């Protein structure tokens, strides 16, 4: 079964897309009741997916304003269309052309199904400091951003 057959979306009256995964995947992923403000380890793919599929029940999780230079461990949920989350005040490694930020992109699996997209950047000043951004392939508008210094 392809990802398109297993996942469907619909738009509600606020313009937000709601995501519906296959029952098998939803049974394995409990919906989160809280979004931690801080975590000093990387989240698992299952935790990330759980936060991203639960945001529609917790509008207070979405940050409406950009956080400048969030501290180590910060976890923030943004609407990509409303907040330019990449303008966070940190200096990130640039590509060889020196103009654009070097980002590593990956598709991530949950229960064997690709449903997440990850974007990783590295600090140009502190080599152990990273920003990871995650979103659902079926709903790229909501982004989970995690800052972490991993010594």
pLDDT tens digits for 108-135?
999 899 999 999 999 999 999 999 999 9
Report pLDDT for 129: 99
For 3-8+17-149, which CATH class? mainly beta
Does pLDDT of 22 surpass 90?
Answer: no
pTM for the whole structure? 0.82
Sign of torsion over alpha carbons 125, 38, 25, 80: negative
DSSP state letter for 138: T
Q: Per this entry, what is the length of the chain?
A: 151
């Amino acid at each position: 079964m392809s990802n398109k057959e297993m996942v469907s979306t619909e738009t509600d009256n606020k313009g937000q897309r709601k995501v519906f995964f296959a029952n098998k995947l939803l049974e394995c992923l409990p919906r989160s009741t809280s979004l931690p403000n801080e975590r000093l380890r990387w989240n698992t793919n299952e935790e990330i997916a759980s936060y991203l599929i639960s945001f529609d029940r917790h509008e207070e999780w979405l940050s409406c304003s950009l956080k400048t230079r969030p501290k180590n461990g910060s976890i923030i949920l943004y609407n990509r269309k409303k907040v330019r989350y990449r303008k966070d005040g940190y200096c990130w490694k640039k590509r060889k052309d020196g103009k654009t930020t070097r980002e590593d992109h990956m598709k991530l699996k949950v229960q064997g199904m690709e449903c997440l997209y990850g974007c990783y950047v590295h600090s140009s000043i502190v080599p152990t400091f990273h920003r990871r951004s995650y979103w659902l392939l079926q709903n790229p508008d909501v982004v989970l951003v995690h800052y972490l210094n991993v010594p």
